[in-house]
Structure 1
């Protein structure tokens, strides 16, 4: 399987997870290929740090199966240099990442002017690869509604409308700039945003989207149990929205599954850090999809086949663990972290 969205930590975050540990847990779960995100410490926004990261991944046991996104800043020269790096390190630097809202690492380019400039610079550089975007419109966030003693309020502080409007913005900015690459909307959490994406596809715009296991298996109700530490960006949504996203996934309306794997220490989570381990949830989602009669053809597209097509990785055989092993492997993976947000789902399975 291919996981096109992971945060494998290490470096200045070794207390959360090392590359070697992340690779080991993923291998246990049947994930054989990764796309790592750039909000590391330090961030992957320069050629020097990107080359160092690739070398460290190789030393930890991966080479051809490890890819990363170069992070984008608001600097024109930096954007141009990252475009050149996708050519120089083709297949290793798999695409570019834009945070249209602040999340872990504070790499957000949060104004409309900054975001428009990115797409204009990419169009001027004739970049036709993938730009993956974290979509949450900063001006629509409501931080005063956040109660640190109730993680379910995170969904009030970062409402669906912030994602929906940010998705609308990115689609508009791409069109206006004449950007000819592929816009990828990461970790979709809102059915309304999916409607905008499907409308754009019908107009011929090159856009893809993915969902995480947590957004289609867990709802904001689960986050009320503080012991599960189910807090992430974008947050969990209502049960009605969760069901709609799961139905959309099962019907083939979403391009792929990505875990957004982002482990923390327990103390980080107690202090309100956003992000959860995701590999065990991936196996649970595979099981739930199969339990709901997902076809083998669609399932293979969702866990790697479609990613391979969009990123030009060549035709790949996608191997999925045997059905009878999914629950046990998920349990084993969960035990390799200090908290398990998928505990309630595993109990139901």
Structure 2
């Protein structure tokens, strides 16, 4: 299986996870290809950092195909140079990442003019590869509604409207400047945002979107259980939203599943860090999809085939663990981290 959205930490965040550990756990779960995100410490925004990260990953040599997303900044010169680097190092560098809102790592480019400038620079440079997007419009966030003792309040502080508005912004801004690359909308948490992406597809835009196991399996009600530490960006939504996302996934409306695997230490989670381990949840989601009648063809598409197609990678077989293996593998993966946000779902 392929997981095109992971945060394997290491370097200045080695206490959270190392590249070696993350890849080993992924492989134990049947995930043999990973796309790593750039909000590392230091971030993957320079040629030196990108090359060092690739060397460190290859040195792990655990049998996982490793790629990374390079990050863009507000500096047009950096955007131009990192786009050139991504093109020359493809497929090791699978594409670029733009945080259209702040999240872990503080790489957010939150002003519309800055976002437009990134797309303009990419268009002028002739970059036509993938740009992965974290979509949450900063001006629509409501931090005053955040209660650090209640992780479910995170969904009020970062409402659905912030996601949908940002998705519309990225489609509009990139189109206005003639950007011809592929937009990938990461970790959608609302059916409304999915509809916006589907409309853009109908209009001929190169665009895809994905859902995470946590948004398809857990709701904001689960986040009320403090011991699950179920806080992430974008946050968990209502049970109605969650069930709608799962139904859309089962109907084949999403391009793929991505875990947004983002481990922290238990202390960091107690202090309110956003992000959870995702490999355990992926296996639970596959199990649930099978139980709800998902075909082998749909599972193969969601867990790798569509990623290969969009990313421009060679076709290969996507192997999925058997139904009987899924629970045991998920439990083992959860044991590799100091907390398990999918524990409640496992007991359902």
Using the size of structure 2 for normalisation, the TM-score is: 0.99
The runs of 5 or more residues in structure 1 that have no matched partner are none
Report if the CA contact (8 A) 1:208-1:255 is conserved: yes
Aligned twin of 1:323: 323
Looking at structure 2, the residues matched to 143 and 6 of structure 1 have their Cα atoms a distance apart, in angstroms, of: 26
Aligned twin of 2:2: 2
Report if the CA contact (8 A) 1:57-1:63 is conserved: no
Looking at structure 2, the residues matched to 62 and 201 of structure 1 have their Cα atoms a distance apart, in angstroms, of: 37
Report if the CA contact (8 A) 1:29-1:279 is conserved: yes
Aligned twin of 2:115: 115
Report if the CA contact (8 A) 1:189-1:211 is conserved: yes
- What is the Cα deviation at residue 49 of structure 1? 0.4
Aligned twin of 1:202: 202
- What is the Cα deviation at residue 61 of structure 1? 1.4
Q: Does residue 175 of structure 1 match 2:175? A: yes
- What is the Cα deviation at residue 140 of structure 1? 0.2
Q: Secondary structure at the match of 1:253?
A: coil
Deviations 1:206-261 (A, max 9, x none): 11000000000000000000000000000000000001111111001100000000
Provide the aligned C-alpha RMSD in A: 0.8
- What is the Cα deviation at residue 62 of structure 1? 5.2
Report if the CA contact (8 A) 1:265-1:338 is conserved: yes
Aligned twin of 2:245: 245
Looking at structure 1, the residues matched to 65 and 81 of structure 2 have their Cα atoms a distance apart, in angstroms, of: 24
Report if the CA contact (8 A) 2:95-2:131 is conserved: yes
Report if the CA contact (8 A) 2:4-2:36 is conserved: yes
Q: Does residue 215 of structure 1 match 2:215? A: yes
State the 4+ residue runs in structure 1 displaced beyond 2 angstroms.
none
Question: 1:1-349, aligned counterparts within 5 Å?
Answer: 1-61=1-61, 65-348=65-348
The runs of 5 or more residues in structure 2 that have no matched partner are none
How many positions carry a matched residue from both structures?
348
- What is the Cα deviation at residue 63 of structure 1? 7.8
Report if the CA contact (8 A) 2:32-2:63 is conserved: no
Q: Secondary structure at the match of 2:274?
A: coil
Q: 1:211 to 1:129 in 2, by over 3 A?
A: same
Looking at structure 2, the residues matched to 2 and 90 of structure 1 have their Cα atoms a distance apart, in angstroms, of: 17
Deviations 1:260-308 (A, max 9, x none): 0000000000000000000000000000000000010010010011000
- What is the Cα deviation at residue 64 of structure 1? 7.3
Looking at structure 1, the residues matched to 285 and 241 of structure 2 have their Cα atoms a distance apart, in angstroms, of: 16
Using the size of structure 1 for normalisation, the TM-score is: 0.99
Report if the CA contact (8 A) 1:97-1:131 is conserved: yes
